[in-house]
Each structure stands twice: as C-alpha cells, then as structure tokens.
Structure 1
Amino acid sequence: MSTTPAPSKPLSSENIVAQKYDRCLADLLVKSGIGFSVGVVASVILFKRRAWPIALSTGFGAGAAYADCDRSFNPARIPGVRILPAESSTPESK
C-alpha cells in the first residue's frame, strides 16, 4: 500500500521562530543537564564534594547552549560566513 506525501505548505515566520525557540530550550536543558552531571561526578571524585565544579560545568553547558542558539537566530555570527550584498537588477550605464 503506497501513500503519497501531503503537499508541504510554507511555514509562517511565527512557526519558524517558535521552532527555533523550542530547539534552543531543549538544547539548554540537555547541555546544562550534561554539565550538571559532569560537575557532580567531578565534585565527588576529584574535589572532595565541593559545590563549585557543579556550578562551573552547568554554566559551561548553559553557555554552549546560548552560543548555539545565538548562531541559530543570527547566522552572520558563524565564523567564516560572509554576507554578500544582493546584486542590483538595474543595468549600469557606461
């Protein structure tokens, strides 16, 4: 039994922004959670149960998520990317 895919309609700008925010929030939760986990392990094994490794690694995770989200919303901040001006459609007179 074959099914034909439904024709895709263009997404509205509100939906695109909402999807980006959803991805950013999910990324923040995952990376902060991983940072928290690494901090707990490092705190228990290496630093005699101090609190600062937990806070530091959670902050690193949140910072990495923030940087990824910033690049998602502003692609001009990706290293090595140049924004070229659009070519004009009017012919130049000589």
Structure 2
Amino acid sequence: MSKPTSSEDILGQKYDRCLADLLVKSGVGFSVGVVASVIFFRRRTWPIALSTGFGAGAAYADCDRSFNPARIPGTRVLPQSEVAALHANKSN
C-alpha cells in the first residue's frame, strides 16, 4: 500500500508542471517569432514579443485550468453530498 500524498506535494507538483509548461511554450513562441521575424517581417522585434506572449498566455491558461478545474468547459463540480449519493446509487 502506498503512502498518501500530502497536499503540499500535490501543489508543488502542479507549480513545477506550470513552470515547465511556461518555459516550453514561451520558448516555442520565441522560436516561431524569431523565424517569422527573419523570414517575413524584415527583422522587426514585434513578432518575437507577440509569439512569446502567445506562448506564455497559453501556458497561463493551462495552469489556471490545472488549479481551477471548474473552468474546464463541460465539467461540473459536485458537492460532496451528491458524490456520496451517486456512489451509493451505483453500488445498489
């Protein structure tokens, strides 16, 4: 039997995933911005900033959904009493 995970560990894991996601998505956005800047926009800097911001915004949205599952479209958060009633109905 495994030891239960503490809430601090779960929170730390979520923050770690959010930070890693931010670095990856901002890095990809930065790279796309550099390529677009060189190829299409005569080496202007705004495509780099814009695409990096898009990557950071996508990472922020994913992190927000991780910490607040009620914001995921199509999901419903049930009170504990309803969850217990559903489990009781399934076992009968």
TM norm. shorter chain > 0.5: yes
Pairing 1:60–2:50 present: no
Structure 2: 5+ residue stretches without partners: 86-92
1:28 aligns with 2:22: yes
The gaps in structure 1 that reach 5 residues or longer are: 1-6, 90-94
The structure that has the greater radius of gyration is 1
TM-score (norm 2): 0.85
Within 2, Cα distance between the matches of 1:15 and 1:82? 25
Counterpart CA distance in 1 for 2:51 and 2:11 is 29
- Map 1:1-94 to 2 at 5 A: 7-85=1-79, 86-87=81-82
Q: Which has the higher helix share?
A: 2
Q: Secondary structure at the match of 1:8?
A: coil
Aligned residues: 83
Percent identical pairs in the alignment equals 83
Which shows bigger deviation, 77-86 or 20-29?
A: 77-86
Q: Deviations over 1:1-41 (max 9, x none)?
A: xxxxxx42110000000000000000000000000000000
Output the aligned Cα RMSD: 1.4
SS for the counterpart of 1:9 is coil
TM-aligned CA deviation for residue 82 of structure 1: 1.4
Counterpart amino acid of residue 74 in structure 2: G
